[in-house]
Structure 1
């Protein structure tokens, strides 16, 4: 059974269209990575699917119901999101921050129940942060803080977790630490993980399913073998990539790449000088739009 999917989804800000007629299925109990250049609509898609921002038209369906009609607390029991830049947790202890994940289950005065405390401790244990429970969030390293935010998402006890660039600002070791944790949550607990990633090789290594976006539209969606390909990356990122195999996982990986120069590519196709000028103008407009996004 398909739990989460979109149909002809359109998202924008004012007159500016970001995501266009997008129909996609999110595989249940798998790790899905969304890739694409800056400004292509990755984060916008995540925000719309989790109802942080409204969509203009189309549908986002979860368990056979439009999320637009779902009760907020019921929806928060089904999906959790870790945004790209989490809100400040200054002054809070780790335990206090993670306790916010229990909000959908609280009633009346909002006091924590024995069940809430049990789930909070479990989330801290699962993310390896139980030793920090009474420590200030401000005193933690970047990797530790990211794991604590993931613990808060786990405390919601949702089956679907969305993460917007969870490895941003982390060094290589902490990036690997976070991604291995997410993969473990998927394989051992059956959590559906959906995350935006910039690193193609991280997406290929940790994701079961990859969605490649360009200008708010899907270029390719499928397994890492189907998406991490020279022709797909050329279309999505305008790069000429050399694809090899990861010696440790045997999954495809981008070994190196060159930026494709628009002029030379068009010249090889025999386009006129006027066409080349139009191409340069379009590219400059795209870059301006991406910078604005």
Structure 2
């Protein structure tokens, strides 16, 4: 089932076109990961789908409606986005931060209702941040802070959650903590999760569906077996990858690779695996 898709999407900044004639479908109740080199249009695509940046042409359709014609609060009840660098929450407690997720449901003076408080407490509990409710966001570790932001997105009670590089700046343990939380939300609550990830092996490990972008266009979209291949990674990243199997999940993973360079891409230079995302 597909509730969300784009048709002929063109997105740009000024005269520079970032995403070109993009037609993409987001599978419902699945985890979709988007991969691609820097500047390939990954973040721009997320921002356009969630109406943060306008498209130059084309359409984003959710539940049969053009999102540009949808009421802002109604749209915010369907989709939540956690950007790569969330706005500063300086001075806020975790509980106050999470309460911002209730904005789409507030009326009048915007006071929290009993239902709002129940949802906030639920979001804190699900993300394991209840103990931090009255603590300053500034006092938390990177992983704890990221879980707080995810709790805010959950408090928005949307069925679709977008995350732009949710593991950036986190150590290996906290990266895994955040990704396992998102996987749990998908499995237990059937949330549709769409996230941009730089770590290819994490992207494959946690995804049901992958989208590989290059220069604002889709090189390949499908399950992990279709996208995590030697040919696709060569086209997207200009690397000569050796693909193996994750011993825990049996999903494809990049074991090692060489960088291809030169006009004919015949020259190769070894690159440490850690720079593209080692197995977690």
Give the shorter-chain TM-score range.
over 0.9
Q: What's the CA shift for 1:262? A: 1.9
The size of the alignment, in residue pairs, is 267
Match of 2:110 in 1: 110
Match of 1:174 in 2: 174
Match of 1:262 in 2: 262
CA distance in 2, matches of 1:208, 1:159: 17
Match of 1:220 in 2: 220
CA distance in 1, matches of 2:208, 2:75: 25
Taking structure 1 as the reference length, what is the TM-score of the superposition?
Answer: 0.90
Structure 2 unpaired stretches of 5+: 268-280
CA distance in 2, matches of 1:102, 1:63: 22
Match of 2:61 in 1: 61
Match of 1:153 in 2: 153
Report the secondary structure of 2:2's partner residue: coil
Structural mapping, 1:241-280, within 5 Å: 241-263=241-263, 265=265
CA distance in 2, matches of 1:17, 1:74: 29
Q: What's the CA shift for 1:263? A: 4.0
Q: What's the CA shift for 1:261? A: 1.9
CA distance in 1, matches of 2:65, 2:88: 33
Match of 1:192 in 2: 192
Taking structure 2 as the reference length, what is the TM-score of the superposition?
Answer: 0.94
Match of 1:165 in 2: 165
Report the secondary structure of 1:91's partner residue: coil
Structure 1 unpaired stretches of 5+: 268-293
Larger helix percent: 1
CA distance in 1, matches of 2:259, 2:266: 14
Please list the CA deviations of residues 202-241 of structure 1 after superposition, one character each: whole Å capped at 9, or x if unmatched. Answer: 0110010000000000000000000000000000000000
Structural mapping, 1:1-293, within 5 Å: 1-263=1-263, 265=265
Please list the CA deviations of residues 101-151 of structure 1 after superposition, one character each: whole Å capped at 9, or x if unmatched. Answer: 000000000000010000000000000000000000010000000000000
Report the secondary structure of 1:265's partner residue: coil
Root-mean-square deviation (Å): 0.9
CA distance in 2, matches of 1:72, 1:191: 21
Match of 2:272 in 1: none
Q: Greater CA radius of gyration, 1 or 2?
A: 1
Report the secondary structure of 1:138's partner residue: helix
Contact 2:201 2:253 in 1 (8 A): yes
Report the secondary structure of 1:135's partner residue: coil
Larger strand percent: 2
